[in-house]
Amino acid sequence: MQLAFDELGTPLRDVTFVIVDLETTGAAPGPDGITEIGAVKVRGGEVIGEFGTLVDPRSAIPPQIVELTGITTAMVQSAPPIEQVLPAFLEFAAGAVLVAHNAGFDTRFLRAACEGHGYAWPKPTVVCTLQLSRRVLSTQDTRSHRLSALARLFGAATTPTHRALDDAHATVDVLHGLLERLGSLGVHSLEELLDYLPDVTPAQRRKRSLAAHLPERPGVYLFRGPGDEVLYVGTARNLRRRVRQYFTGSESRGRMREMVALAERVDGIECSHALEAQVRELRLLAAHRPAYNRRSKNPHTQWWVVLTDEPFPRLSVVRSERDGALGPFGSQARAKTAADTLAGAVGLRTCTQRIPVRDPRGTPCVLAEMGRCGAPCAGRQTVEDYAPSVRAAADLVAGQGDAPLWSARSHIEELAEGGHFEQAARRRDELVTLLRGVGKAHRLAALAAIEELVAAAPDGSGGWQFAVVRHGRLASAGTAVRGVPPMPVVDQLVASAETVLPSPGPLRGAPAEETALLLRWLTAPGVRLVRTTTPWSEPAAGAGGWGPWLDKVATAATLENIA
């Protein structure tokens, strides 16, 4: 397919390639396995630089490797170690496309050396001439894709010798020969080269035109099928570039290739910034349930813990949000663990029978015999006697007291002091589940309670990204680029923002995932509050003060796993 002018990408003649070859000790990739590095920098078909050095691997070189490469242990004893060579090589290769024959081998050793000696692996674009030759050349061209065979085929000026710089020079000629073959196939840019490397069907390539109308802006894209049904929803910082990747070899997921084969159209919704795109994605997923989105096949159900409405309330796990509920929890199991832990801490019953106020004639259960239930079913507790337990649980949920948490912690300490370490560890993990649930509930509820909040995040170019949040939902989003007065933009966004009417419940009807997404964005470094109708605050009594204990528990659990 002929590409539009703005899709041509970087012409190959303008790309700087660094062709690299390594010699090693033959061991598995590690911080000190390299014995020689050779690299050649080329641009526009001309050599513009060379890099070559022996490297001390700090170990003896095996005889079979000496026979293959001619590099002996004596030759590398006076050579610099890899931690001294790496900075110079990384600087030499900075900004270039890395090329190697069987590139996976070379990059694994280089990455391991960087990781082992504290250097950041730059994650360069990599082209493998071995992979490229297998895509370009047929069996009639060559029976072998070894470097020596390809060097003979393309008449390389340097013969491979299993020495790094010689082999790098030979790979340069092989690369140029392969690129000449690709030119006749319409591959003229780096982007086309990278797309060509993996195996892509012609039908998949032809559908690249589905992305032609999309803007190079952040937003949400929707793949639609033959019946205009939504097949898949995703977000992108650059809509056109991201969608085009689905029609190239960079998309290797089988289900996505199947989806692309069915797609007839791609719709794009341009967004002001990434936060708006992520929120719109959540809403579109909930509205359309696309067949090829994993979250559509496994919808994220929220669970809540509530006090039942009866004379002797108990804690129940439900799916619907309501006033006084604790949550949301990501799974029913976590919600039940939190409910059981809280019930045990305050002395609430856990049985499901309905207990009459007058003349209860039930039979006490094992929990009553263990002292963990007051047995209101047998008339041992009146409604007045039972009420403090209900208030303690309700106070924790409302953020007005954390007495149940201290009670559960004291029980754990008693078990540990008595030598019941396994039981103490189980109770500790259960308390952690309750603590995290309470902490999350308070944070989300605090945001959802605010009628209107306006926040700004720097866009990295001297401008601002704005979000207007109403009762835990994104009501409006926009940007002010560098040089544009921000406050008039804020006023316009507030004036045009969506009206949000709160519903009953801690989150005021806002979807939990959307409120959590907004909370993460609002608490990210650099984000500033512009204005808010009421102060944004979280309860002082609750899980807020338990951070140090949770950190201590996390450290202890890590040590237990190591042991």
For 204, phi then psi, to 5°, come to -65, -40
The verdict on whether omega for the bond into residue 328 sits within 30 degrees of 0, i.e. cis, is yes
- Angstrom distances, CA of residue 129 to CA of 99, 102, 177, 260, 484: 7, 7, 10, 29, 49
Kindly state the DSSP code that residue 474 receives in the 8-state scheme: E
Kindly state the DSSP code that residue 43 receives in the 8-state scheme: E
Kindly state the DSSP code that residue 525 receives in the 8-state scheme: T
- Measure the CA–CA gap between 326 and 506, rounded to whole angstroms: 8
Token pair, residue 164, equals 């790094």
Give the torsion through C-alpha atoms of 233, 237, 243, 249, to 10 deg.
-120
- Measure the CA–CA gap between 416 and 428, rounded to whole angstroms: 10
Kindly state the DSSP code that residue 52 receives in the 8-state scheme: E
CA end-to-end span of the chain, whole Å? Answer: 59
Q: How many CB atoms lie within 10 A of CB 255?
A: 11
Residue-by-residue DSSP string for 201-238: -HHHHHGGGGGTTS-SSSEEEEEE-TTS-EEEEEEESS
Helix (H, G, I), strand (E, B) or coil at 40: strand
For 42, phi then psi, to 5°, come to -130, 150
SS (H, E, C) 379-448: CCCCHHHHHHHHHHHHHHHHCCCCHHHHHHHHHHHHHHHCCCHHHHHHHHHHHHHHHHHHHHHHHHHHHH
Question: Angle at CA 480, nearest 5°, toward 476 and 481?
Answer: 145
Give the torsion through C-alpha atoms of 442, 443, 447, 453, to 10 deg.
150
Q: Are the C-beta atoms of residues 526 and 460 closer than 8 Å to each other?
A: no
Residue-by-residue DSSP string for 270-310: E-SSHHHHHHHHHHHHHHH--TT-HHHHS----EEEEE-SS
Token pair, residue 47, equals 């050599």
Residue recorded with tokens 């008039």: 488
Question: Element (H or E) spanning 35, and its range?
Answer: strand 34-43
- Active-site residue set: 162
- Measure the CA–CA gap between 300 and 138, rounded to whole angstroms: 49
Q: Are the C-beta atoms of residues 127 and 103 closer than 8 Å to each other?
A: yes
Q: Are the C-beta atoms of residues 386 and 312 closer than 8 Å to each other?
A: yes
Token pair, residue 63, equals 């005889």
Instruction: Give the CA diameter of the chain.
Output: 103
Pairing of strands 126-128, 97-100: parallel
